[in-house]
Amino acid sequence: MSCGIIGQALTVNSPVEGQLPTLIPGEALRILLVSTAESARDEIGESLARGAGDHRLYWVAQPELAPVRAQDLVPHVVLVDDALGGADANALITQLSSRVPGAAILALIEAGAMNRARQAVLAGARGFVTKPLHTDDLIASLRQVLAQRGSRTQEPEGGGGANGRIIVFCAPKGGTGRTTLAINTAVSLQAIDRRSVILVDADFAAPALDVALNLYQERNISDLLPRLSRLDEDLVSSVLASHVSGVRILLAPPPGDLSTPITLPQVQQVLARLKKMFPWVVVDLGLPLDETAFAFLDGADRIVMTVLPEMVGLRNTRLMLDQLHERGYPNEKLWLVLNRATIPGGISARDIGERLHVQVRYRIPDDQPLATHSVNRGVPMVMSHRRSAVARAIRQLARMLADDLRHEMMPASMGEEAKGGLMGRLRRGFRSANV
């Protein structure tokens, strides 16, 4: 037997055959390899590509960088090679156990070195896999430690309950009214559903929620990143701003304050926590569509793309739709919303649908003076001008989104929406990230 697991394997919900279980529906499995040998990276990468399903493999070649990298990625599994060019593998395992206590650590041990295997387990590893690697043994080992990890992390937290729904607002270019619609939809959801809503500013190049809502809050998402491995409700709540409507807001840092882009695993961790805390998560997503942006889109239950009835913007819209379709998102997940639909000389919703080959789901009438007045005052129009045509239209959009998402089966991992998350990404294979 060329693999070893210490302890009894526990069961979790059965994954699709040939895939490893994941702990959050739609989330890619994150595996961090610590090894000085590039050949080990290639060997493990090939094994995972054959049997691990949707995952991402990250490689750290310098052992001293592993603890910091692990805190940044918050991996589900850490593989530690026992041959680290003179570095103490067991000391590293102990350090990793402290830095990322939720990760399942496996040691890669030379065949026959059972004493090293025992020492690795005593240092904090959940088990070991012997070298040279065999795909079936590696996948079996990963399956067991993930089952053990899942049985602990899936215990109810403060009463448990279903995860919240994520609605991401995006646009092919600036000036489409994306932020205004995101704000007013969030406030409308709070009033209609009477359950808590969080609004996330994910426009890291040009954040605007603090200005548009007259908020004076120094803390933002960057305050959560150093503590992702120990993220809890109290920490998140301490960072959120509060609006008079009852909506909570997670702000973006000022432009230029982020020394490095927020990573996909960091976004996944933050969204997973927000979904546990809030029934509704509304995201105002900026450009460009990089890996950080796709981390938000991958987690979305609905993607609302705002467009204007103008010819110039339709080309950008077509390009963005192509990107989303290539990513695996189905049409039912994408909601094309035509903003300022009644502007004189604008293209009709029917013509836009024919040109883009996508149905326009909803239309918002034009009232640019009111929209500008609302933003300048920092008061959402659904609060200050409830009876206006624009406010009534946005409330109806919020109702439609809420009704549409309520009708889906729970949990979400059993529904067709998985095509745009996990199943859509399975076709793209795995990615490696080197340090």
State the pLDDT confidence band at 24, using cuts at 50, 70 and 90.
Answer: low
CB distance 111 to 133 below 8 Å: no
The set of residues, in sequence order, having a beta carbon less than 8 Å from that of 228 and lying 6+ positions away, is: 71, 72, 74, 266, 269, 270
Name the amino acid, one letter, at 216. Y
Residue whose token pair is 């991996």: 75
How far apart (Å, rounded) are the C-alpha atoms in residues 168 and 417? 14
Q: What is the pLDDT of residues 310-358, one digit of tens each?
A: 988 898 999 999 999 888 888 889 999 999 999 999 999 999 989 998 9
Q: What is the model's pLDDT at position 155?
A: 41
pTM exceeds 0.95, yes or no: no
Q: Which CATH architecture has domain 3-157+428-434?
A: 3-Layer(aba) Sandwich (3.40)
Identify the weakest region by mean pLDDT among 117-121, 175-179, 198-202.
117-121
Tell me the CA end-to-end span of the chain in Å, nearest whole number: 32
CA 123/CA 6 separation, integer angstroms: 13
**What's the Cα-to-Cα distance from 188 to each of 166, 195, 214, 282, rounded to whole Å?**
15, 11, 18, 11
Q: What is the pLDDT of residue 101?
A: 82
Cis preceding-peptide flag for 411 (omega within 30 of 0): yes
Using pLDDT thresholds of 50, 70 and 90, give the confidence band for residue 162: low
Query: Binning pLDDT at 50, 70 and 90, where does residue 430 land?
Result: very low
Instruction: Give 80's strand partners.
Output: 34, 107
Instruction: Determine whether 115 is exposed, middle or buried from the number of CB atoms within 10 Å of its CB (0-12, 13-18, 19+).
Output: exposed
Q: Where are the domains of the chain?
A: 3-157+428-434, 165-409
pLDDT score of 161? 44
pLDDT digit string (tens) for 237-249?
999 999 999 999 9
| Percent of the chain residues topping a pLDDT of 90 | 43
Output b/e per residue, 141-165; b: 16+ Cβ within 10 A. Answer: bbbbbbbbbbeeeeeeeeeeeebbb
Q: What is the pLDDT of residues 252-299, one digit of tens each?
A: 998 878 777 788 778 888 998 899 899 999 999 999 888 889 889 988
Per-residue pLDDT, averaged over 1-18, amounts to 35
Share of the chain above pLDDT 70, in %: 84
Q: What's the burial of 194, exposed, middle or buried (CB within 10 Å: 0-12/13-18/19+)?
A: exposed
CATH fold, domain 165-409, is Rossmann fold (3.40.50)
Residue 280: in which H helix or E strand, if any? strand 280-285
Exposure letters 220-248 (e unless 16+ CB within 10 A, then b): bbbbbbeebbebeeeebeebbbebebebb
- Say what the pLDDT of residue 408 is: 67
- The number of beta carbons lying within 10 Å of the beta carbon of residue 308 is 24
Q: How many helices (H) and strands (E) does the chain have?
A: 16, 15
Task: Name the H helices within 158-263.
Answer: 178-193, 209-212, 233-239
Q: Model confidence at 127, in pLDDT bands (50, 70, 90)?
A: confident
Does residue 14 surpass a pLDDT of 80?
no
Query: What is the predicted pLDDT for the residue at 19?
Result: 47
pLDDT at 4 over 60: no
Please say if the pLDDT value at position 410 is more than 60: no
Higher pLDDT, residue 101 or 187: 187
**Residue 261: predicted pLDDT:** 79
What is the average pLDDT score of the chain? 82
